[in-house]
Amino acid sequence: MELGVFEFLIGLAAIFLGLYWWSTYTYDFWKKLRIPGPNPIPLVGNFGPVLLNQLSLAENQLRLYNKWKHEPFFGVFNARMPMLIVNDPELIKNILIKDFHVFSGRGITVDEKSEPLSGNLFNIDGHRWKVLRAKLTPAFTTGKLKQMVELMIECTEHFENYLRKQVKKNNVIECREVAAKYTTDVIGSCAFGINMNALEREDSEFRIMGRKLFEPTFTNLCRRLFREFSPRLYKLFGLKSISPEDTRFFINSIKETIEYREKNKIIRHDLVDILKDMKNNQKDIDFELTEGLLTSQAFVFFAAGFETSSTTISFALYELATVPETQEKLRTEIMDILNKHNGQLSYDIVNEMKYLEMVLQETLRKDPPAIGLRRKAAAPYKIPGYDIILPKGTAVQIPSYSIQHDECYYPKPHEFDPERFSENNNKRHPMVHTPFGDGPKNCIGARFAIYQSKLGIITVIKNFKVTPSHLTDIPYKIDKSGLILTPANGIPGPQPIPLVGNFGSVLLNQQCVLEKHMDLYNKWKHEPFFGIFNGTKPILLVNDLEIVKNILIKDFHAFPGRGIEIDEKYEPLEGHLFNIDGHRWKVLREKLTPAFTTGKLKQMVELMIECTGQFEKYLHEQVGEGNIIECREASAKYATDVIGSCAFGINMNALTKEDSEFRIMGRKLFQPNFVQMISRLLRIYSPELYKFLGLKSVPPKDAKFFIDIIKKTIEYRQNNNIVRHDLVDILKNIKNNQEYIDFELTEALLASQAFVFFIGGFETSSTTMSFALYEMANYPEIQDKLRSEIKDSLKNNNGELSYDVINEMKYLNLVLQEALRKYPALYIVSRKSSKPYKIPGHDVILPQDTLIDIPIYSILNDERYYPNPHEFIPERFSEENNDRNRMAYLPFGAGPKKCIGGRFAMYEVKLGIITVIKNYKVKISKLTQVPCKIGKSSSVFLTPANGIYLEFQPIN
């Protein structure tokens, strides 16, 4: 029984009411306790600007604090979760120190089975935390710290050499990346006894992993928001803060280091030695000490140690660059003390630098790495001095960033003033400066971080004068997706919205993907590249033509794949040449290329010419019924028959039979409809739900039909000794000579290669042909000029067409190239990096697996390369005008992965156009949309929104 509209609306209303109740039923929590605070918004609480990526967590915290800072505390909602924000320094002292027994945990939910590295000292609470904290503390005594400072000083020598090399190449340096390389090497040397090679090698595995962990990307933001606001969805979607590969790598690194030390009896008295001793003396530990738990302690020291210190160093350098008198004062102190000690550095010498200490403390005040301190009540708690009892489990946050920017404690808080921390001025309450927390749960490695940061700053300031560059943001902007306080990263781009990224208008069906790409490109085209997000996936759009050339051709080895995720068991026809990468692509490309040689193409053109006879007859019949023809459907029928004849030796009967199975299948695959759009969006944004709902890009019935057709055609040719030297023959030969192929060659994999040629061949060609006819209807003078050329060429060759005769038609080639410029079949070319890649000429390293889009349509419609791009001007491609950069014209892509059937498509379209123009004048009809609108549900290919209806007037 089908639901009526009324029942459907009632059901929808019930769902919304249920969702509203679920999202708001905790919102009376603070009212019941008589605690003031801002009103929450359903679902998002008081963190809407963060979820919408309008504000960073630090900015949102400061916004709330400034409104409620005169209260000793106030209540907010993190989505549905109540959280008490504590402003009063005395109350903060109680929570962090005096009443630590009540607030001993941070309230961070961890699942060590799912995420083995999450059971670290920062996350865990209770007895395990107490035991592990006691075991790890000896790694950070003053004696150990003095030894580690000596190792840090060795690292500063490498740091200095690295900086000198970089300055020779380009004296504008991205400080956060450089500082992160230095701190990564320091952590490796001091804590693990491992040379992490971050300063020496761009492909340092530890630096790559660190970059991935803290890269302020939209994906990381969404991952964190899911974990924070909906842990159940976080687990359901299988999200992880650290990828399984990185987890395995880190566990294996620590495990191998411990084993090596045990085997070779190496003792360094560092963190790894403490972990080794814990592993070998588990009798005094009353809980299971797994490899994951041991490694977690090393991991948190690695992650926090390099990231917080590198951020602090880079912020300090930024402030010193913008306040040069402070920089000069610091340099004077450093040089005076070094001269006093014959240029030597040591733990004690660093401690002599009092102004350096003040600079660092002011940096930590203005730009604290952690913006707040979290605690969770382990028992009901009466707030001292108030008649309020917090229930057990209440989350508490101390807003460190906001307190350290409160003018009540720090006059002119946005100014960088190290003198605030001089002995004369340092009389403020200790709880208003807590960059490393306080109490038993303060940062265990704080002193390590301070010396690491000081030595990094000394290395820079004694050797270089740092000044703002043309790339410096003043004031700097906080990255809205950063886990800790970080400046916005080096790749520009529009702000994304959680879950939808930069494609909200596409999801709402307000724009097609192509229009959205064009809007983004027009705003950012003066950048060599910029970053966007498709859902939660970061994508780099590359505008610079030289970089495009590098990606597609010169550095193809770094971008061999398109980054399309496929599941051939679930969708058997997905494993085709367009989708697959790596070794299988290389083998199949080599095997299929002989189908498209010039010799084969000449033979296929003869078969195409036969098809044009059927096409001419079809058009004559259609004009007899009514002279308005929907060109895209007519072109698709012609192109379907051409593909059938040339590639498969099959008469697909698209022109002669309305119920042609091949045409019906083709129509279903590319008909722009709402269901198809939803299916495609779910595949991009939620592959799990896409599969759960049983959605498929090719219905199982059609997939089976196509696989069976190819199988039967091959069998028929084998049984009857038929040889046609076409695509099916090549597939037959591949099938019969599998000993030369070192992967499984299934029936579906073979059929997939035929399938992609079928869909690519008829869809792109028919679309190009119909757009070309549309433009000629709009520009009758171009149509007449082309018709004259066609008539003259035919007359010169006794009315006969051939491969060579078509090549004589120079103006036809110009018309087709202009049609492909204005309406390229593919609007983007996609690639995926197979390894870390440094963009030539830029201090940017793309991580492995970065998705790249080259905005073909946008470049082809850019007035810098094509003046008056919205006009149809074939003469742009004449020999005298065709001196533009080759990368500005890529309708079929470029490099090893360019379209294998590009030339086939050109001749197919040319013959279709010739057939129409020699027999008919095409004109704008009453049904023609002018200008032509692009379909909003278009996906891979460019398609008109409502077809292309033209009037066909026969020529006598």
User: Which residues does the annotation place in the binding site for heme?
Assistant: 899
Q: Are 176 and 311 contacting, i.e. CB atoms less than 8 angstroms apart?
A: yes
What is the three-class DSSP state of 488? coil
The DSSP symbol for 85 reads E
Phi and psi (nearest 5°) for 918?
A: -75, -20
In which residue are the tokens 């592990």 written? 132
Q: Which of 300, 301, 321, 306 is nearest to 456 (CA)?
A: 306
CA dihedral (290, 293, 299, 301) positive or negative:
negative
Distance CA 938, CA 922 (A): 26
DSSP assignment string, 142-198: HHHHHHHHHHHHHHHHHHHHHHHHHHHH-S---HHHHHHHHHHHHHIIIII-----T
Enumerate the H helices of 444-581 as residue ranges.
446-463, 504-507, 513-524, 545-549
Q: Are 623 and 954 contacting, i.e. CB atoms less than 8 angstroms apart?
A: yes
Q: Are 786 and 772 contacting, i.e. CB atoms less than 8 angstroms apart?
A: no
DSSP assignment string, 301-321: HHHHHHHHHHHHHHHHHHHHH
Q: Which of 917, 920, 919, 912 is nearest to 605 (CA)?
A: 912
Long-range CB contacts for residues 860-864, cutoff 8 Å, separation at least 24: 860/821, 860/822, 860/824, 860/888, 860/889, 860/890, 860/891, 861/518, 861/821, 861/822, 862/521, 862/525, 862/888, 864/525
DSSP assignment string, 60-83: HHHHHHHHHTTSSEEEEEETTEEE
The DSSP symbol for 754 reads H
What the block records as the tokens of 848 is 């492995």
Binding-site residues, please?
A: 899
Long-range CB contacts for residues 861-867, cutoff 8 Å, separation at least 24: 861/518, 861/821, 861/822, 862/521, 862/525, 862/888, 864/525, 866/821
Q: Are 194 and 257 contacting, i.e. CB atoms less than 8 angstroms apart?
A: yes
- In sequence order, the 6+-apart residues with CB closer than 8 A to the CB of 609 are 801, 802, 911
Distance CA 62, CA 652 (A): 67
What the block records as the tokens of 386 is 């108030």
What is the three-class DSSP state of 381? strand
Q: Are 759 and 671 contacting, i.e. CB atoms less than 8 angstroms apart?
A: no
End-to-end CA distance of the chain: 59
Residue 93: CB atoms within 10 Å: 16
Distance CA 49, CA 46 (A): 8
Phi and psi (nearest 5°) for 736?
A: -85, -5
Distance CA 308, CA 312 (A): 6
Please, what is the angle between helix 291-322 and helix 324-340, to 10°? 110
What the block records as the tokens of 673 is 């409809």
Q: Which of 803, 809, 807, 901 is nearest to 599 (CA)?
A: 803
Q: Are 260 and 266 contacting, i.e. CB atoms less than 8 angstroms apart?
A: yes
> Ramachandran region of residue 535, left (φ > 0), alpha (ψ -120 to 50) or beta?
left
The DSSP symbol for 897 reads G
Q: Which of 351, 347, 506, 463 is nearest to 939 (CA)?
A: 506
